[in-house]
Homo-oligomer: A and B are copies of this chain.
Amino acid sequence: MAVGQCDFPEMHEVAGISLGTACAGIKQTVKDDLLVIAMAEHASCAAVFTQNAFCAAPVHVAKANLAQAPRWLLVNSGNANAGTGGQGMQDALFTCASLADVVGGAPVQVLPFSTGVIGQPLPVDKIKAALPAAVDNLSQANWANAARAIMTTDTFPKGASAVITLDGQTITLTGISKGAGMIQPNMATMLGFIATDAKIDQTLLQNCLALAVEQSFNRITVDGDTSTNDACVLMASGASLAPEILAGTAHYRLFADAVMRVCKRLAELIIRDGEGATKLIRIVVSGALDDDEAVLVAKTIAHSPLVKTAFFASDPNWGRILAAVGRAGVENMVLEDVQIYLAEVCIVRNGGRAEDYTEEAGQRVMDQEEITVTVKLGRGNAVQEVLTCDFSYDYVKINAEYRT
């Protein structure tokens, strides 16, 4: 169930980046499940990958090929090709070679991505058979089809698009993501593909993406499960007439801001589509000694089933938030210095319930669909924000009944 405004936006085309989809029938035959993205020659390509120690076969291949000036992305939904042993690696390489055959490139120029069920062999023959159709319909206008092709348990396609102007010339940024929470039932979860026509070298593009992901996709959680297949790619075709973006310039800052905005929107859409979610919860921790401390406290709150079930029930149960802050593992934290707010309503101050707090004021905030919790630690100046959703009957239902 989508929380809030999640309509698919106008997607500005990105010169030098084209997309083609097809239905390979990997897990179902209702919608396209195969996506090919082709980049212009000399495009730069940056990517970040899951930190799960057991990353899937396609992640290993994509990591290795990233240094080989990739020209094509090959994405399938319906099967994660994870937990598939040596066969999985062969299968990932086979699909890259199959696409290279069709487009006339080298297999190492293909980055493979898979998302879906873990532990089942990838049906490589179905994928190979569908590749010509996907390549045939490569088009710069295909973003909406691409967003649908990578969906698994997502309830809506996810896109974001932005245009900035540098020296009178436009630069376009357009991206898609998939994922219905960091957790997926037996699925390997989150993918993001973002394209721009900016001219920018690979190293700077990689730095820019790493920073943006850290503040967007790495700041969302349904319950902290990191999948075996998470990946986010940023492609830069160089087709824009705007000057090349160089490190340390005002142009870079404008560009990096736009990348950040697109990433944050794509990440937020994943939480708005969180499994069973009925509420979007923004947890802001300020007054921390450093960013790591702020994130640690925010994620401890965001992962607490106690806190999440209270939000589902619209119950202003501040004791649960306070207990989560206390067990976050921050050394020498002083209870008397901590303040907790629900939206603008102060609920905890001076080591206990704020003297002016009323259940009615708390209830008014909790009844809303989007809620900001602010925790002021009173220790320093670092501020960080984490997005999460509540924990509902439907969460249990979706995850308990997934394979039945």
Question: Is there contact, CB below 8 Å, between A185 and B53?
Answer: no
A166 at the interface (CB under 8 A from B): no
CB-contact partner of A305 in B55, B323, B395, under 8 A: B395
Which residues 309-329 in A have Cβ within 8 Å of B in the complex?
Answer: 309-310, 312-313, 315, 317-320, 322-328
Given known A-B contacts A319-B118, A352-B87, A183 and B54 have beta carbons under 8 A apart: no
Q: Given the known inter-chain contacts A319-B119, A353-B83, please indicate yes or no for A335 contacting B54, CB distance below 8 A.
A: yes
Tell me the A271-316 residues at the B interface (CB within 8 Å): 304-306, 309-310, 312-313, 315
Which residues of chain B have C-beta atoms less than 8 A from A103's C-beta?
Answer: none
Looking at A152-160, A225-233, A251-259, the stretch in contact with chain B turns out to be: A225-233
Q: Is the CB of B87 within 8 A of A396?
A: no
Q: A313-B400, A313-B401, A395-B396 are in contact. Are A306 and B353 (CB under 8 A)?
A: no
Q: How far is the CA of A184 from the CA of B399 in the complex (A)?
A: 22
Give the interface size bracket for A toward B.
35 or more
* Any B CB within 8 A of the CB of A86: yes
Q: Give the Cβ gap from A19 to chain B, nearest Cβ, in Å.
A: 29
Q: Which residues of B contact A389 (CB under 8 A)?
A: none
Contact residues, A83-113 vs B (CB, 8 A)? 83-88
Chain B: minimal CB distance from A280 (Å):
17
Is the Cβ of B352 less than 8 Å from the Cβ of A85? yes
Assembled-state Cα–Cα distance A66/B289 (Å): 33
A35 to chain B, nearest CB (A): 23
Is A397 interfacial (CB-CB < 8 Å)? yes
- Inter-subunit contact B228/A399 (CB<8 Å): no
Among residues 205 to 240 in chain A, which have CB atoms less than 8 Å away from a CB atom of chain B?
Answer: 223, 225-228
Residues of chain B with a CB closer than 8 A to A353's CB: 83, 119
Cα separation A400 to B312 with both chains bound (whole Å): 7
Measured between beta carbons, the chain B residues less than 8 angstroms from A368 are: none
A404 at the interface (CB under 8 A from B): yes
Listed from nearest, the 6 A-B pairs whose CB atoms lie closest are: A118-B319, A54-B326, A85-B352, A313-B400, A309-B399, A85-B351
Known: A118-B323, A313-B404. 15 other contacts (CB 8 A): A53-B327, A53-B328, A55-B326, A83-B322, A84-B351, A86-B350, A88-B352, A119-B319, A185-B317, A186-B306, A225-B305, A225-B306, A309-B395, A315-B404, A317-B403
List 25 A–B pairs whose Cβ atoms lie within 8 Å, in order of A's numbering. Answer: A51-B327, A53-B326, A53-B327, A53-B335, A54-B333, A83-B348, A83-B353, A85-B351, A87-B352, A119-B322, A119-B353, A186-B317, A188-B323, A223-B305, A223-B306, A225-B306, A226-B323, A305-B305, A305-B399, A309-B399, A313-B400, A313-B403, A315-B402, A317-B402, A391-B396
